């Protein structure tokens, strides 16, 4: 069990890249005093757009010094052009060819306590291509991330889950369940889980998916479909996260770092990116989860998912246990 101060090893060998199919969309955050009832309305603060979703995950990994690469579609439209430029500026490679069209938009309604609801419109990011994914040259040590939020249509679910299921054993596959869990065809879970090395989710996603799998086949759970050696990571808010390294192993509680909650938008994406970066850097999953908790605590301390924490900031939290607003 990790406890007290932790310092990342200097000069650790980064064994692989972080490759994510998590789609990038344009995010329009709106801060409101309360969530209106049906038929009601509420005034929102002036909002400015920013890239989100997979963008946050990729940038979080890149900021840790890991080679990060986007494997989700981008288009020819102005939003895609702007996002592509920002990915390049963040040091993120783009591995897939552009499609005619543009990426979608995510409207985020954020209330004063930091909780959030989202409305999503689809764009070219909802059209992943198995052929394009197959052309990606994978290397030993790569960490591949597939987000279930991109598997809500039959086409996308088939393309992504079948590609993920075919990944060679020398790469680590991380599957994130996502808030769109109820929209994912059960067949996609049945296809992707047997290949997954790590399944990560928050408490609500875990409970929702458990109900879906049980309704599909009575008594079945995530562990019904995963290999015994696969790990699960459950994010439990202010308590940090819970790690089960293999089936039937005891659950390890990895504590959170206390932080003022300013905005929960993108915190889960940051946690996933930090965890995957830790794995790509050669750390064990328990250490990677502690790194992710530190990154998430930094991310939640300021409004917006951006900027993402740097490696120095994450190391400072691990060493001191103290979280400071990274915008100061």
Of the pLDDT bands very low, low, confident and very high (cuts 50, 70, 90), residue 93 is very high
3 state SS of 33: coil
Residue 20 to residue 276: CA distance in whole angstroms: 10
Q: Note the pLDDT tens digit of each residue in 172-202.
A: 999 999 999 999 999 999 999 999 999 999 9
Helix 267-280 / helix 54-62 crossing angle, nearest 10 deg: 40
Sign of the dihedral through C-alpha 48, 52, 57, 58: negative
Q: Note the pLDDT tens digit of each residue in 157-174.
A: 999 999 999 999 999 999
Residue spans of the domains in the chain: they are 18-319
pTM, two decimal places: 0.87
The residue ranking higher by pLDDT, 188 or 307, is 188
CATH number corresponding to 18-319:
3.40.1190.20
- Nearest Cα neighbor of 112 from 231, 263, 246 is 263
Q: What DSSP string describes 162-202?
A: HHHHT--TTSEEEEE--TTGGGS-HHHHHHHTTT-SEEEEE
pLDDT at 117 over 90: no
- Who's near 7: CB < 8 A, 6+ residues apart? 315, 318, 319
Residue 173 to residue 19: CA distance in whole angstroms: 10
| Residue 100, strand partner residues | none
Q: In what order do the strands lie in the sheet with 105-110?
A: 50-53, 24-31, 105-110, 116-120
Sign of the dihedral through C-alpha 267, 8, 230, 196: positive
Of the pLDDT bands very low, low, confident and very high (cuts 50, 70, 90), residue 4 is very low
């Amino acid at each position: 069990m990790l406890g007290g101060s932790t310092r990342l090893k200097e000069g650790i060998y980064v064994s692989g890249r972080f490759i994510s199919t998590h789609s990038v969309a344009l995010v329009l955050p709106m801060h409101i005093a309360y969530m209106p009832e049906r038929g009601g309305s509420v005034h929102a603060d002036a909002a400015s757009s920013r890239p989100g979703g997979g963008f946050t995950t990729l940038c979080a990994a890149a900021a840790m010094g890991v080679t990060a690469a986007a494997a989700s579609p981008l288009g020819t439209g102005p939003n895609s052009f702007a996002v592509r430029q920002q990915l390049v500026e963040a040091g993120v490679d783009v591995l897939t060819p552009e499609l005619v069209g543009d990426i979608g938009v995510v409207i985020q309604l954020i209330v004063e306590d930091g909780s959030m609801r989202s409305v999503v419109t689809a764009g070219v990011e909802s059209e992943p291509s198995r052929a394009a994914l197959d052309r990606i040259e994978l290397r030993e040590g790569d960490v591949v991330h597939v987000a279930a939020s991109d598997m809500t249509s039959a086409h996308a679910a088939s393309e992504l889950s079948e590609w993920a299921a075919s990944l060679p054993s020398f790469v680590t596959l991380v599957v994130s369940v996502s808030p769109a869990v109820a929209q994912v065809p059960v067949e996609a879970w049945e296809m992707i889980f047997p290949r997954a090395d790590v399944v990560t989710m928050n408490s609500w996603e875990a409970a929702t998916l458990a109900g879906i799998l049980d309704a599909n086949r009575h008594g079945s759970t995530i562990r019904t479909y995963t290999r015994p050696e696969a790990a699960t990571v459950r994010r439990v808010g202010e308590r940090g996260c819970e790690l089960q390294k293999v089936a039937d192993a005891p659950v390890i509680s990895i504590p959170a770092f206390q932080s003022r909650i300013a905005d929960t938008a993108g915190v889960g994406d940051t946690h996933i990116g930090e965890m995957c970066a830790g794995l790509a850097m050669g750390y064990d999953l328990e250490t990677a989860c502690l790194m992710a908790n530190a990154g998430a605590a930094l991310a939640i301390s300021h409004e917006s998912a951006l900027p993402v924490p740097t490696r120095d900031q994450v190391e400072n939290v691990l060493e001191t246990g103290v979280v400071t607003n990274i915008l100061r």
